[in-house]
Amino acid sequence: MNLQEKINYHFKSFPHRELFQEVSILILTKDGQVLGQLGKVKEGAQAQSLGALMVGMWQASEAVAEMIKVKDNKDTGLNYQDSSSGFFLLQPTEKNPKIFWSFIFENQVNPGKIKNYARQLRAHFNELEILKETKSKATSKEEFLFENVTEEEVDNLFSFAGI
């Protein structure tokens, strides 16, 4: 069973899934890659763009929060909406520390109800480990992909653009 099938199978046991028929739910990695979708499915390129933008906004918000000394809250979310349409993003949980949950909704009568059940859906998926932890050599923040790159090598990389 692939990951999307596993997600769909587990979603079927969520008691309020009918509420999400007109809501696009993206299951995202910390780098914005879409692992799966539920509800109203977005097309490939659109979903990938939304995923990258959403996680980018989260990272920017975390940086601002750190600068102004906002205390971390395990149930923090990021949202942008009017009275009936918008989106929100729920942060990873301890069980799935690499997964963001994005909910995009349009023309909804009660967005607050969607937010409430979205948190319940994320908790429901805590029964399932979506991405397994893997040990890698480059786990330290001190290690970089391009170590020991010279100025000349960087200049050569961008020389085609006339920079």
* CATH assignment of the domain containing 28: 3.30.450.30
Residue at 156 is within a domain:
no
Residue at 139 is within a domain:
no
- Asked if pLDDT for residue 114 goes beyond 60, the answer is yes
One-letter amino acid for residue 95 of the chain: K
What is the number of structural domains in the chain?
A: 1
pLDDT for res 129: 73
Q: How many residues does the chain have?
A: 163
pLDDT digits (tens, 9 = 90+) for 115-143: 999 989 988 888 877 766 555 554 444 44
Q: Which residue has the higher pLDDT, 3 or 67?
A: 67
Here the tokens at position 132 are: 């397994």
Residue 22: CB atoms within 10 A of its CB come to 13
Range of the domain at 118: 3-134
Residue at 12 is within a domain:
yes
Residue 153 confidence class, pLDDT cut points 50, 70, 90: confident
Residue at 108 is within a domain:
yes
Residue at 158 is within a domain:
no
Contacts of 100 (CB under 8 A, 6+ apart): 27, 28, 29, 30, 54, 55, 58, 89, 90, 91, 92
d(CA 111, CA 13): 22
Residue at 151 is within a domain:
no
